[in-house]
Structure 1
Amino acid sequence: MNSKQSYTELIKTEAKRLGFLSCGISKADFLEEEAPRLEKWLNQGMHGEMGYMENHFDKRLDPTKLVEGSKSVISLLLNYYPAETQNPEAPKISKYAYGMDYHFVIKDKLKALLHFIQEEIGDVHGRAFVDSAPVLDKAWAAKSGLGWIGKHSNLLTQQVGSFYFIAELILDLELEYDAPTTDHCGSCTACIDACPTEAIVEPYVVDGSKCISYFTIELKNEIPTDFKGKFDEWMFGCDVCQDVCPWNRFSKPHQEPLFNPHPDLLSMTKKDWEEITEEVFREVFRKSAVKRTKFQGLQRNIEFLK
């Protein structure tokens, strides 16, 4: 076994031990095929008021601009599918936000993996990324064979589904690279048909400025009244396109205690949410991604559902 092979096996074994669902590796090349797609999406204004999407265009496509001399992009998936969901009468929160903010949970695991690589292999330089930097997570994960990009523009994995986070380590270490997988959406249009705001404008293209997740999290101004009555009771994020996807019948509950929800979250009723105080908000979402929308933002969203 050559060193590339043994290093690759070593990294994948440790990733599994750290709790990652899977690990795929691709060559740190320029993402040629993504450039025109990203440019067109931005030019059509599908990013809405997410101005940051226009920044660092070249860095999004070229990993060597993020890590000098980078050779490999290690993509990792971490399951977040919950064992239980909210009270069915209550306004809904996207499942990824039930527990502790994933940025902290994953960052710690990535740092542990990078530390392990440096201990075991030696002088390796790299950086960890969890969707807060200009990295095209889904494109890298697809390139490294972890799944394909579905018609709802999320990464999908056969026999697994899509309820997972994607993260990367970009390293200046040469490794064995995985091959991309094939698309298994077939003629299915479940996600397109079910989207409450018709944000999936054509297969594989989501108009971010029409997405419920965008309105409830990213948009800081008032939600346009044209969308009144179309939110399907979502107050933070939206899982509709994932919930209806046939591949998600294979979703299994995660094993990460930090992703378990605050005990009150699942039992809160519609009335509890409508009367929520800032104190309760701070307690229930103390370390949660929901804090991003702030108390006022969540109140605005709940009000919009009435």
Structure 2
Amino acid sequence: MNLQRIRHTNIIKQKAAELGFDFCGISAATFLEEEAPRLEKWLNRHMHGQMSYMENHFDKRLDPRLLVPGAKSVVSLLYNYYPVKKILHQDDELKISKYAYGTDYHFVIKDKLKSLLEALRQEIGDIDGRVFVDSAPVMDKAWAARSGAGWLGKHTNIINRKLGSFFFIAELIIDLDLEPDAPTKDYCGTCTRCIDACPTDAIVEPYVVDGSKCISYLTIELKDKIPDEFAGKMDNWIFGCDVCQDVCPWNRFAAPHREPAFEPHPHLEHMKTSDWQELTEELFNELFKKSAVKRTKLTGLQRNVAFVTEQK
């Protein structure tokens, strides 16, 4: 038993909890051997659509030591974003994904990760490493599953038995030798609610999502015109989609987040379809000043609104 390794592991988990993270798990920084054929097959089937960046840095996606030389541990962290109340979900009104209600999570969580790394350096000593929030070729779901954060659901989101699945995943990849956690088992069982509910049939088989059919892809990543084959299938979503998570039985355990930065702009609660159709550049910038919705720009959001409302 390595007492120093256990001590360092306990310090990391304690500091993560103090910063508001809902889970902290550890994995040894090794090659993700079982993920290599899955990723290659998914790319070969062109399920990444226009997300050409998914083809880049194949080796780095599978081996964290190529991202952080000397890396010994991957620290996986979960941060809840489930809202106190769901907005924009009234019947026949347009909807945006819950993760985009407030301030862009990249800003919020990256600041917390930097604080965590700094606190660890003060407590433990010199640590070399990097922080990651969905911004580099890191297979965050694979690492989260390895760390015991949860299992990969049939919708390919990580599900935690206590939290559900409405959380962000982040990592510290560091050169500190830590005590790894064990993965959890798959508790999806025979349930197929996410597959059955997907408006565009994007979950083509259990644990496989054709990204090019996913509403989140169509409304955010796709820069071209939304293909006509999806007309009438968008379920009023104009930025992202939560259907597969909303129907998941494990999300009955989802509790409201405690992050003020994730609270939506008050005006969003009262947006009607006509308001979205008449959205100006000025109001767009006010509503989504620091929001993930800015990724689409006003023109992208207008495209989504027009495509969805034309079918109503």
TM above 0.5, yes or no, is yes
Q: 2: CA distance between counterparts of 1:97 and 1:90?
A: 17
Q: 1: CA distance between counterparts of 2:130 and 2:162?
A: 30
Alignment match, 1:167 = 170
Q: 2: CA distance between counterparts of 1:67 and 1:86?
A: 40
Q: 1: CA distance between counterparts of 2:172 and 2:160?
A: 20
The answer to whether structure 1 residue 3 and structure 2 residue 20 are counterparts is no
The answer to whether structure 1 residue 228 and structure 2 residue 231 are counterparts is yes
From 203, 214, 217, the counterpart of 2:206: 203
Q: 2: CA distance between counterparts of 1:300 and 1:219?
A: 11
Aligned residues: 306
From 82, 89, 92, the counterpart of 2:95: 92
Q: Aligned letter for 2:36?
A: A
Unpaired runs of 5+ residues, structure 1, are none
Alignment match, 1:12 = 13
Give the drift of 1:144: 0.4
Alignment match, 1:26 = 27
Give the drift of 1:113: 0.4
From 171, 177, 180, the counterpart of 1:177: 180
Aligned counterparts, 1:21-60, within 5 A: 21-60=22-61
C-alpha distance after superposition, 1:156-197 (max 9, x if no partner): 011320000000000000011100000000000000000000
Output the TM-score relative to the length of structure 2: 0.97
Q: Aligned letter for 1:303?
A: A
CA contact (8 A) 1:146 1:180 kept: yes
Runs of 4 or more above 4 Å deviation: none
Q: 2: CA distance between counterparts of 1:248 and 1:148?
A: 14
Q: 2: CA distance between counterparts of 1:67 and 1:90?
A: 45
**SS of alignment partner, residue 221 of structure 1:** coil
Output the TM-score relative to the length of structure 1: 0.99
Identity of aligned residues (%): 68
Aligned counterparts, 1:232-247, within 5 A: 232-247=235-250
C-alpha distance after superposition, 1:214-238 (max 9, x if no partner): 0000000000011000000000000
Alignment match, 1:120 = 123
Q: 1: CA distance between counterparts of 2:291 and 2:163?
A: 25
Aligned counterparts, 1:140-155, within 5 A: 140-155=143-158
CA contact (8 A) 1:90 1:273 kept: no
The answer to whether structure 1 residue 302 and structure 2 residue 305 are counterparts is yes
Alignment match, 1:138 = 141
From 250, 254, 264, the counterpart of 1:251: 254
Cα RMSD over matched residues?
Answer: 0.8
CA contact (8 A) 1:56 1:134 kept: yes
Q: 1: CA distance between counterparts of 2:261 and 2:20?
A: 12
Alignment match, 2:193 = 190
C-alpha distance after superposition, 1:47-82 (max 9, x if no partner): 000000000000000000000110000000000000
Q: 2: CA distance between counterparts of 1:141 and 1:266?
A: 33
